[in-house]
Chains A and B, each alone.
Chain A
Amino acid sequence: MRGGPARGVPAPLLVPALTAIAFLVLPLAGLLIRAPWRSLGSALASADATQALELSLWTATTATAISLVIGVPLAWLLARTTFPGQRLLRALVTLPLVLPPVVGGVALLLAFGPTGFLGRYLNSWFGLTIPFTPAAVVMAETFVAMPFLIITVEGGLRSADQGFEEAAATLGARRMTVFRRVTVPLVAPSLGAGAVLCWARALGEFGATITFAGSFPGRTETMPIAVYYALETDPDAAIALSLVLLLVSVVVLVSLRDRWLRGGSAARGGSAR
C-alpha cells in the first residue's frame, strides 16, 4: 500500500480535471455519434476517399522507410560520438518537432521549388520539378516526421548498455559489425516505437504537405487534406475519413504501449547480470 492522502480529491482540482476530460473526450464522442454508420462503406469506397487513403498509406510508409535509412545513422552519430557543434545539430534536428508545419512547407518550397536554391539546379540539370508531386508529399512528411524517429532511437541508444558493444569489440567485431549485430538488435524496441511514431506523424501531416505539395486529388491529396476539403462538399465522407484516421491512431497508441512495456525489460539486457 502506498501512502499519501486518502480518497478525497479537493473540488478546486476535481472540477478542472473533469472539464479537461470532457474537453478531450466529447469531440471524439461527437465524431462517433455523428458518424454515418450506414453509408460508411459507400463513403469510403468513393474514388476520392480510396485514392486519398492509398496515397496516404504509401507516402507515410515511404517517408518512414527513408527516415529509418538516414535517420538511424544520424541518431547513432548523435548518441555514440562527440564532435564540435553536436549540441547545435541536435537542436536543429529537433526543430521540426516544434516548428509550425506550414513553415516547414514554405522552407521546403524555398529550397526545392523551381526558383529555390537547390530546386533551380535540379530543374536545369536533371529536368526535375519536385513541388506538387507525390515525391513532394513524401519529402514534406519525412521533414516533419523523421525527428520523432531520431529522438526516440537516440534515447534508446543512450540508455542501452554500451558494455555489450565493448564486449563485441573484444570479440573481434569492427564498428559496423557491432552496429549491425549488437546495437540494432538491442535498440529494436526503440526502433519499432520510433518507426510507429514517425509513421503516425507522417500519416497525419497536413500543413507542410499542402504548402509544398498542394492538393491534387490522386497525386498529392492525402487523407488529412481530403478530410479538410470534403468537410465543405461531402461532410459524411469527411467524417468517414476522420474515423479511419482515428482508428489508425488508436491502433498506434495500443501498439506503442505494448512495445514500450516490452522495450523496458529488453533494454535492461536480459538477466545475465
Chain B
Amino acid sequence: MSDTSPACFCLPNHPPSFATVSPILKPVFFALAGILCLASDATAQISASPAAMDAAVKTLQTYCYDCHTGKEAEGGVRVDFLSKPDSLEDNIEVVEKILRVLAEQQMPPADAEQIAGADRVALSTWIEARLQDFDCGSVSRPGRVTMRRLNRTEYDNTIRDLTGLDLRLANDFPSDDVGNGFDNIGDVLTLPPILMEKYLASAQAVAEAVMANPQASSRVFPFAPGNPDDLSEALDVAQKNVGAFASRAFRRPVAPSELARLTELMRSAWEAGASKAESLQAAVTVILTSPHFIYRVEDDQASESIDGIRELNDYELASRLSYFLWSSMPDERLLQLAGAGELHTSQQLVAEARRMLADPKSQSLIDNFIGQWLQLRDLETLSPDPKQFPEFDQELRVSMRRETELLFRNILDENRSIIDLLNADYSFINQRLADHYGVEGIVGDEFQRVNLKGKRSGVLMHASVLLITSNPTRTSPVKRGKWVLENLLGEPPPPPPPNVPELNATGETLGTLRQQMEQHRADPNCAVCHTKMDALGFGLENFDVVGKWREVDGRDKIDPSGSLPGNRQFGSPVDLVQILAEDKKQEFCRCMTRKMLTYALGRGLGVQDRCTVNAIVSQMSEKNYQAATLVEAIVTSSPFTTQETGR
C-alpha cells in the first residue's frame, strides 16, 4: 500500500495549494544543470550583452554587496569579481556556489530583501552565459569517482556471470541508498555491518551452490588434475583454479602475493581437518567477500599520473564499460582485450560499446538507467485509488513499464534519435494497453509496434509516466510539470521563495485548481516558475491518473490549451510535446547527457564536467541526436577514461 510520492516536499509556510502538489526535489548539481539549460545558445548571446551585464551587476550591488565584498565578506564568499570582465576560471568553485544558492533561494537570506524572480533568473542566466566562454582547454579536470561498492543489482549480475548460477541472493540485502538520482553512486553506497554479514553469508551460499553443481563447478574451476591421487599435482591444480577464479572475481589478474595467501588459506584449512571441497569453499568465500570483489577498486598506483591525472588501465576500463552497459563484470573478451593492452584506444572503446549494446545483457542499462532516470521503478509501489480506477492491476502495471522500456530499446537498437523519447508517434503496446488507450486491433500479450500519430506521442503520454506523476486519487499538474522540467529538460524549478503568504488565510473560496493556480501566478515571484511548470502540467490534463484519455474531470470540461515561453501556443497534448521537441532539443539532449554521464560515472557532476557535457551535446547535434553517439561519447570522455589521483 505504499504510494511514495516521486518528489513532493514542501517548505513551511508555502501556500499548500501549491505546496501539496509542488515537488521541490532538487539535487544540487541538477540545479546547476537547470540553470545551465536556461542559457541555451540563443539566450547566451543575449545574456552576455552589455545591457545584461549592467542589469546583473546592478542586482549584485543591490542585494549581495552589503555582505559579500572585501576581506570581511560573509562566509569568505566574495562576489565582486563577477562584475569584472575577467575569466571566471580562478573562482570557479565560488561561481558554482553562487549559482547554487541563487537557484535554491538560499540567498539573500530570508530576513533580507529578496531579489525579484525575474531579476534572479536574469542574474543566473548571465553568470551561466559567461561560463559558456569558459576555456575548457586549460581546466580539463576529469574528477574522481569514490570507490564504488557493487550495488544489489551489480552483485547479483556479477555472481551470475562468474558462476553461471542466477542465485539472486542480494534480494535479502538492505536496499542501496540513492544519491544524484541513482543507486550506483560511490559516495552514497555505504557498507553498514549488516551488509558485511550478508556478504559473508552470501559468499558462503555461492561457494556451496558452486560445489553442488557440476556445471558451475567446472566453470569456476576449469582445471582438473591428470592424476587425482598425486597430492602435489592436486595442490598445483587447486592453486591454478583459485588463481583463475580470483582473477575473474577481481576483474584483473591476481597478484602472486595474493595467490600465495589464498594457497596458504587453503592449506591451513586442509591441515585443520577440512575436506578438499571445504578448503576450496573457504577460498571462494574469501574471494567473494574481499574488498577487491565487493568494491570496484581503481588503484592510484596502478599507472603513472601526470599533473595529478591518471589514465585508467585497460582492466579498469573494462569494468567501467561493463558496469555501465551491463551492470555486471567484464566478459571474457573484454578481459582478453585488457590483457593484451588493446582496450584503451577510442576506436576500441567505441567498438566494444557497440558490441555490448547489442548483447542482451544491455537490458540492464534499460532496467537501471531508464528505470531510475524516468523513475519507472516507482511503478512497483504506486497504487492508484481502486475505487476510482478499478481497472488498474498488476498486469497493467507491468505493461506500462514495458511500453516505456521498449521504446528506449527500439531507439537503441535502430540507433534512432533520442528526441524520439519526446515525440515518437509510434509505441509498443499489447492488448491490455491497447484497450487502456482505446486503440483497436491489437490482440494478445505480445507487444507490437503501433502508429499513434495524433493520439499520443513520446514518453509523456505513456501511461507509466502519467501514473508516476499523479497522486493516488487525482492528477497533479504541478507534479507533472515539475517532472518534465527536472527529468526531461534539466531545468528543475527552484523551491518556492521563503515567506510566501498563505493563499487562503482569509478562508475565501478559491475555485478550481486551475483558477487557484492562476491566482498564484499573479504573484510575479511565483510566476517565474509556475508559468512554465503549470502550462506543461495542465497541457497533459486530458490524461487521468492511470494515463487514460478523458475529456472531463468530474463535472469540468478539460481545457488542454496553454502557452509556453516565447508565446508558443498549444491546443492539445500532442501539440505541446511537438513544441518541446522543436524548441527544446538541446535542453533535452543536455539533460539526458547529464543523467547518463552521472549513471556511467557513479558520481554527481560538478562544475568541472560542463566541458564534457557541452562537447557531448555538440557531437550529438551533429549526429542527429543518435542514441549510440551518446553512449560512445560518454565511454571515450575524459571523466570516463581518466581519474584525478590522490584525493
Partners in one complex: no
